[in-house]
Amino acid sequence: MGSQRGGSSPLDTEIIAIVKDAKYAEVKGNVPALFFVPYLQDNTVGSLTFYVRTSFEPEPLTAAVRGVVARLDANLPVDNLRTMERQVQENISIDRLLTILSASFAVLATLLAAVASTACWRIPWRSVRARSACAWPSAPRLPTCAG
């Protein structure tokens, strides 16, 4: 398979499968390049994530998943267990909130513009001229050279 980076010793890694690109942490964004190492062969395991596919309702299976993991290794904690649907919802919740807020402000702006435009058409033109003459002061006169 080549050699280690920066070294000349050969790798002792065997490729056993190639899988399609998949979204792991974020729904948006680029798919990172990943490789998988068996749990028992990895010296630097910081966390372990796995997915369970089922044709049944996933919520009742959480106790069974915890039981299977405990039988494999009693020292492994199982926390943050959730469905893929919930994971995706948590991942896009900020985008959904921004979309709802933007749409709400757009509807509010449209309503305000509609109310303002109907109010303008109800005012007689004479009173608009009279109001505009009173509301806008005339420009100040600048002194001229003639005195």
**Structure confidence by residue, pLDDT tens digits, 57-74:** 888 888 888 888 889 888
Q: What is the pTM of this model?
A: 0.44
State residue 3 phi and psi, 5-degree precision.
-135, 165
Q: Which amino acid is at 146?
A: A
Which tokens is 48 given?
Answer: 């372990």
DSSP 10: B
For residue 102, name the pLDDT band (cuts at 50, 70, 90).
Answer: very high
End-to-end C-alpha distance for the chain, whole angstroms: 95
pLDDT of residue 101: 95
Q: What value does the mean pLDDT take over residues 115-137? A: 59
More confident residue, 143 or 118: 118
The domain ranges of the chain are 39-72, 84-123
Assign residue 79 a region (left: φ > 0; alpha: ψ between -120 and 50; beta: otherwise).
beta
More confident residue, 118 or 120: 118
